[in-house]
Structure formats: structure tokens, C-alpha cells
């Protein structure tokens, strides 16, 4: 079974530029999550999708971050404009269905460096 795929793996940008990350969850998983992991900390949830609807985006900085999962499969996370404090690893995870069983499987992550 293929795992969660993410791209790119690494990205270096200057502040005020924009960047986008892509995630393809495990086939058949209805729930998709984006996490931000700052060095030395545990992952923090940014947004949670159930199919193509948003379940929780309470911790997403909506003035600069946006995410979509239009067809209920792949998802993109965008930052525009980026700030220095956005330097982190962005992890995508998926689970079968958060309402039934919430074991989440994580992708390899995208390491973002903002200069």
C-alpha cells in the first residue's frame, strides 16, 4: 500500500514570496490533515479536511495561509506572503475517517526555509 506522498521535499524562499505544497493521501482515506512542525516541537494541526470539506481550520493563519482539497483526494497548502517564522516542516497526514478511527499516517514532509 502506497503511503502519503508530498512534494516538494525541500523549499527555500525569501520572505514575502509565495510557496505551495502538495499532498496525495493514502487511497481511500477520507480525512486529510496539514501540520506545521517547528524545529524542536511537536506537530501542530493547521487544517483538517473530510473529503472536500473543512472540519477544523481554527489554527490556520488565514491572512497568509490557504488550503484546498477540491476533489476530495489531493490537497495543496499555500503560503502568501511567507514570513521568517514560517520556516518549518509541513507534514501531511491522512486517516480512514476521523469519525470512526483516527490513526493518522504521515507523509515525509516538506522542509521550508524562509530567508
Partner 1 sequence: ELKVEQNPLFLSMQEGKNYTIYCNYSTTSDRLYWYRQDPGKSLESLFVLLSNGAVKQEGRLMASLDTKARLSTLHITAAVHDLSATYFCAVDNMEYGNKLVFGAGTILRVKS
**Of 8, 12, 99, 115, which one interacts with partner 1 (CB under 8 A)?**
99
**Spatial CB neighbours of 59, under 8 Å, sequence gap ≥ 6:** 44, 45, 46, 47
Count of chain residues binding partner 1 (CB under 8 A)? 22
Count of residues in the chain: 115
63 binds partner 1 (CB under 8 A): no
Minimum distance from residue 87 beta carbon to partner 1 (Å)? 15
Give the count of beta carbons closer than 10 Å to the beta carbon of residue 68. 14
Residue pair 89/8 in contact by the 8 Å Cβ criterion: no
For partner 1, which residue of 15, 16, 44, 62 counts as binding (CB under 8 A)? Answer: 44
Query: Which of 18, 51, 80, 102 forms a contact with partner 1 (CB under 8 A)?
Result: 102
Amino acid at each position: 500500500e502506497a503511503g502519503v506522498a508530498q512534494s516538494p521535499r525541500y523549499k527555500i524562499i525569501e520572505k514575502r514570496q509565495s510557496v505551495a505544497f502538495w499532498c496525495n493521501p493514502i487511497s481511500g482515506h477520507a480525512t486529510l490533515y496539514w501540520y506545521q512542525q517547528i524545529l524542536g516541537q511537536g506537530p501542530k494541526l493547521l487544517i483538517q479536511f473530510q473529503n472536500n470539506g473543512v472540519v477544523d481550520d481554527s489554527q490556520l493563519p488565514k491572512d497568509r495561509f490557504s488550503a484546498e482539497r477540491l476533489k476530495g483526494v489531493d490537497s495543496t497548502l499555500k503560503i502568501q506572503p511567507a514570513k521568517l517564522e514560517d520556516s518549518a516542516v509541513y507534514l501531511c497526514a491522512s486517516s480512514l475517517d476521523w469519525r470512526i478511527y483516527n490513526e493518522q499516517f504521515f507523509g515525509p514532509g516538506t522542509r521550508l526555509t524562509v530567508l
